[in-house]
Amino acid sequence: MAPLPQLASSGSVPPSDPNTIKTEIPRKAAAHAPAVVKVGECPVPAVSNTPIGRAVNTSDIKYTNLWNRIRAGLRLPHMEGPLVTRYEQWFASNPQYVDNMVQRANLYLYQIVQDVSKRNMPMEIALLPAIESAYSPDAYSRSAAIGLWQFEPSTGRIWGLKNNWWYNGERDIIASTNAALDFLQSLHNQFHSWNLALAAYNAGQGTVEMAIAHNQALGLGTHYRELRLPLQTEHYVPKLMAFVNIVRDPAKFGLTLRAIPNSPYFVRVNTGSQVDLSVIARLADMSLKQLYAINPGFTHWATAPNGPHTILVPVATKAALIEGLSQLPPQDRMQWARHRVVPGDTLYGIAGEYGVSVASIRSTNHIYGDLLRVGQSLLIPMAGRLLVVSRHSAARTEVALARSGMQRVKIIHRVRPGDTLWSIAQRYRVYVSQLERWNVLNAHDVLRLGQRILIWASPAMVPQAMAKTRVAE
């Protein structure tokens, strides 16, 4: 740790205040006034007398409101100065922004606090996403940094975040939080100062290393406030400390932070295999939007086929989801298929193969013409698959047939070269959805030569002599 500054003997703050210390004035532009640092101003009695830098273990302390738990773990020196004041005033003048941010944080903050507490890090770190992303996992910067912790792809890879067609670890709440805390701990181990670690997280450790080397060459100090850093980084820590001050005492700034329960919002559930997210949402009795909010790492409509087969759901829905998954037939787990374009493929051919409309493929994959690229991946919306009409129309047709007394004849069709469910359905004037139900199939399943397909067809479609089971050779 960097040595603490000496007690102030002069200035605007009376020297009789034992919690007042004054930093050395950095050789920067005149606009950067000398910073006065006050410590121990946390309103929670349990920490008001905690020495600077001493870890406070809040993991076993019971708080109803998560904000009180966070306040108990704040341990960086309280910072004042023109930049801190500027951002305090900005937050105070934008209560709706703060409230929206806190509402988003409600989903994630308990998990972040848990992880910070387990590592015995200062709770200021749990508030860093307020500055990075306003607690939005969808936040995206001009430098392509994304997620709660604003990882750039190259940095994410260094810290173990995976990124593929199905999943982006930089958006994943748990994975990105662990990676960010690993990164910050590494920076703190290097610079022995949380302010420098935070500056390096923002500007890059090389930038901070060069700033330190520059000051050392000139015989200057190497504390955060003494370094020449990029303008954004000079504002970065003061902005965080301004929000920390808001959290310490929101009433002082005319704000109210809505309470966040000191209990987990979500829990991890093992799905066993790939599953459509809309199926998960239905089983968990929640909207797809709510499911994506706590699983932003999923970039498409299903979990990855090769795992890991886990998903986050609200704690209250865990039991219902596990029960629903245990009773879910394998063929009902996926409502989307992935098709890789091969030479000769056309939108109309693919739509026919899967029994869906061309329009549904276009809208799902943002295709505005008919041009496809070999190797291109297409999402096929199996939940909306059809032959000529929708599932609902097919169901209505079956009901009408039953009411009319029309009989069905059982046929076993053996698969021939070139057969698809769509072509078989056309041949026997039935619906793809019916073939799926009768044979426990999905429209994207590969048919085997000689495979037996059960069909309940209209007698008009078979010879009059066929009164019972026939085999179509």
Q: Supply the residues annotated as catalytic.
A: 132
317 DSSP assignment? G
The torsion defined by the Cα of 322, 323, 329 and 330, in degrees rounded to 10, comes to 10
Tokens of 239: 């902005």
For residues 354 and 339, the answer to whether their CB atoms sit within 8 Å is yes
Are 161 and 152 contacting, i.e. CB atoms less than 8 angstroms apart? no
Q: Do you know the residue count of the chain?
A: 473
Alpha-carbon torsion, ordered 377, 379, 382, 384, to 10 deg: -140
Residue from 351, 411, 412 nearest 378 by CA: 351
Distances 366 to 344, 346, 439 between C-alpha atoms, Å? 20, 15, 32
- Other CB atoms closer than 10 Å to residue 324's CB: what's the count? 16
State both tokens at 158.
């260094």
Bridge-based pairing of strands 470-472 and 409-414 is: parallel
Amino acid at 404: S
Dist. CA 150–CA 202, nearest whole Å = 10
Contacts of 118 (CB under 8 A, 6+ apart): 59
Beta-carbon contacts of 93 under 8 Å, excluding residues fewer than 6 positions away, are: none
For residue 257, the tally of other CB atoms under 10 A from its CB is: 18
Tell me the C-alpha distance between 301 and 113, whole Å: 29
Partnered with residue 454 across adjacent β-strands are 412
d(CA 278, CA 292): 10
d(CA 51, CA 428) in angstroms, rounded, equals: 82
Helices (H), ranges, 204-303: 205-217, 231-248, 277-283, 288-294
- Cα dist. 189→180, 184, 192, 307 in Å? 14, 9, 5, 34
Look up residue 25 and give its DSSP letter.
P
Kindly tell me the number of DSSP H helices and DSSP E strands found in the chain: 17, 10
